[in-house]
Amino acid sequence: MLTSARVATPPGAPGDTLWEALAGLVTSMLECARGAVPGGPVTGDAGDAGDDGDAGDGGVAGVAACGVGCGGPMTPDAQTVSPLNIPGWRDFPLRARLAELTGLPTFVDNDAKALALAEGWCGAAIGCAEYLAMVVSTGVGGGIVLDGKLLDGRLGNAGHIGHLVVEPEGRRCACGGRGCLEAEASGTAIAAITGRPAAEAPAEVVERAGTLVGRAIASVAALLDLELAVVSGSVALGYGEPFFDAARRELKERARISFAAAARIVPGSLDAAGPLVGAGAVGLRGIHRRADLRGVCPETGAAAP
């Protein structure tokens, strides 16, 4: 990762105010790219915006694409996004807005699916063909790789482990359900349960969060025959070994069928860079998939043999 920047999410802001904050951040990053790669070639696809809302290559020298990891759910091909933790964005046309702003081929996917791509590309899941990557942070999300390929699902929302039920009579979730992992073990839930920031949770709350994460992973491992779960996010990584010890104990207790019993839980290895590396991976994946459909080489733009 060459450079990064961040802005605070305006609390409770309407959709357009949120967009303005994001647009300013993206514009500043494009200016950084112009300075970092003076006169470099534009490597995006040529042409005008197509039916899929991408904007062609009118963008920035040296920048191939705009890749985005965003909370879900979202509609097919991320035409609109409705992240549960950002009420101001409901059916928000994020991809089209970014494509218009940047002039670049733009690809959007769930942020935890993006992390799954990142961990398999250059993180803790290198060389693993079947794994789960998940984020335990403000919310809880996940991405699943099977047979070496990221699982998209019918509408692109596969992997939402945060909405597995881990406490049947548990707390009401933002999705409308009850007892979801996100409603019990996310940073937002922990703050609501304890009345203080999640980072200040007492030891018993840390252990409970890890236990519930391990419980959910055990179910996914049994369902999909996975060998590895990579867990990241500010809550999981911030709590550290007590959290992971509890998750591993629960996995061992719950995953008793022979093939699931071999599953392992490890911390993500990309730390705070994981989501941004993942967003980059979403962009690269989009370029390669489009090139495959068009029969061109994504590196050179030449017709594929």
Q: pLDDT by residue (tens digit) across 121-176?
A: 999 999 999 999 999 999 999 999 999 999 999 989 999 999 999 999 999 999 99
> For residue 104, how far is the Cα from the chain centroid?
21
Residue 53 has pLDDT above 50, yes or no: no
- Using alpha carbons, select from 117, 148, 163 the residue that is nearest to residue 281: 117
Residue 9 has pLDDT above 70, yes or no: yes
In a domain, residue 10? The reply is no
Q: Give the integer Cα–Cα distance in Å for 263 and 221.
A: 7
Q: pLDDT by residue (tens digit) across 185-230?
A: 999 999 999 999 999 999 999 999 999 999 999 999 999 999 999 9
pLDDT at 69: 95
pLDDT at 61: 66
234 in Cβ contact with 190 (< 8 Å): no
287 in Cβ contact with 65 (< 8 Å): yes
Residue 50 has pLDDT above 50, yes or no: no
pLDDT at 98: 97
Work out whether strand 140-146 and strand 66-70 pair parallel, antiparallel, or are unpaired.
Answer: unpaired
In a domain, residue 9? The reply is no
Q: pLDDT by residue (tens digit) across 66-89?
A: 999 999 899 988 899 999 888 899
Q: Are residues 102 and 132 in the same domain?
A: no
Q: Give the integer Cα–Cα distance in Å for 157 and 85.
A: 16
Q: Are residues 47 and 99 in the same domain?
A: yes
Q: Are residues 183 and 238 in the same domain?
A: yes
For residue 95, which amino acid is it?
R
- The values of phi and psi at residue 62, to 5°, are 85, -5
Q: Are residues 179 and 258 in the same domain?
A: yes
Q: Which residues fall within 8 angstroms of residue 66, CB to CB, at 6 or more apart?
A: 26, 59, 98, 99, 102, 104, 105, 106, 107, 283
pLDDT at 41: 36
pLDDT at 305: 38
Q: 253 by DSSP, 3-state: which?
A: helix
CA distance between the termini of the chain:
32
pLDDT at 79: 92
Q: pLDDT by residue (tens digit) across 240-295?
A: 999 999 999 999 999 999 999 999 999 999 988 998 999 999 999 999 988 776 66
pLDDT at 62: 77
If one compares 12 and 192, the residue with the highest pLDDT of the two is 192
C-beta neighbour count of 212 within 10 angstroms? 25
Query: Structural domain tally of the chain?
Result: 2
Secondary structure string (H, E, C) spanning 35-47: HHCCCCCCCCCCC
| Average of per-residue pLDDT across 107-132 | 96
Q: pLDDT by residue (tens digit) across 28-49?
A: 999 888 776 444 433 333 333 3
Angle CA 202–205–211, to nearest 5:
145
Q: Are residues 263 and 167 in the same domain?
A: yes
Q: Are residues 80 and 131 in the same domain?
A: no
Say how many CA atoms lie within 13 Å of 286 toward its Cβ.
Answer: 27
Q: Are residues 98 and 154 in the same domain?
A: no
If one compares 293 and 183, the residue with the highest pLDDT of the two is 183
Q: What CATH number has the domain bearing residue 31?
A: 3.30.420
pLDDT at 85: 83
Q: 236 by DSSP, 3-state: which?
A: helix
Q: Are residues 136 and 44 in the same domain?
A: no
Q: Are residues 62 and 169 in the same domain?
A: no
| Domain membership of residue 104 as a residue range | 15-110
Q: What would the two tokens of residue 34 be?
A: 């112009």
Q: Tokens 């494509």, residue?
A: 99
- Using alpha carbons, select from 144, 125, 146, 115 the residue that is nearest to residue 282: 115
Q: Are residues 57 and 163 in the same domain?
A: no
In a domain, residue 168? The reply is yes
In a domain, residue 300? The reply is no
Q: Are residues 128 and 246 in the same domain?
A: yes
pLDDT at 33: 81
Q: What CATH number has the domain bearing residue 128?
A: 3.30.420.40
In a domain, residue 276? The reply is no
Question: DSSP state, 267?
Answer: E
Q: Are residues 97 and 140 in the same domain?
A: no
